[in-house]
Amino acid sequence: MFKKLDILDEKDNRLRKVSVDAKLPLSDEYKALVERIITELTYSQIEEYEKKYNLRPGMGLAFPQLGINERVIVIVHEYDDGKFDNYVVVNPKITSSSNELIAAEAGEGCLSVNRNVEGHILRYARVTVEGYDVDGNKIKIRAREELAIAFQHEIDHLNGILFYDRIDKNKPFYSEDEIRLI
């Protein structure tokens, strides 16, 4: 039986807290929650399930969005039509990044922000993320383009930052001449 997650809205102050490191390995309860998150994110990206369960499409979720003040992120990336890679990183850190900056042309969205927010967010085109899997094994992920944006967005949640905090109020949009838009 599929039951939707209770995702906090941007008005909830818990989203503005800096999260603490999660204890490793994750508890069975947290591992089950990670599986629920993966299912919901996957369903949200498949039109049939998105409509059936009234889901907003999303590719990432951080524990703080569920009211859990711990450093765990989950990303479900559709790399090809109907094919997904799942990334679960506990206590993630960006250990290196490209000099090149990019922005999502359509802007970013967030499952905690139930409104459209206009503007480009400058992000690194490539990042290396290190952390741990749910069992406490060290992992390293190299991400580029859309996936790199997702990692930066979710790690921001762990630091109490919402994507629109990063929109430059004086210059909310960039042209292709200024920044590579993807």
User: By the 8 A CB rule, do 80 and 91 touch?
Assistant: no
The CA distance from 3 to 20, in Å, is 27
Residue 74: name the closest of 164, 24, 160, 134 by CA.
Answer: 134
Listed in sequence order, the residues at least 6 apart from 142 whose beta carbon sits closer than 8 Å to its beta carbon are: 126, 127, 128
Pairing of strands 138-144, 126-132: antiparallel
User: Which residue of the set 29, 78, 154, 178 is catalytic?
Assistant: 154
Q: 50 an active-site residue? A: no
User: The tokens of 7 are what?
Assistant: 């995702």
User: By the 8 A CB rule, do 65 and 53 touch?
Assistant: no
Q: Name the 3-class secondary structure at 95.
A: strand
User: By the 8 A CB rule, do 157 and 65 touch?
Assistant: yes
The catalytic site residues sit at: 154
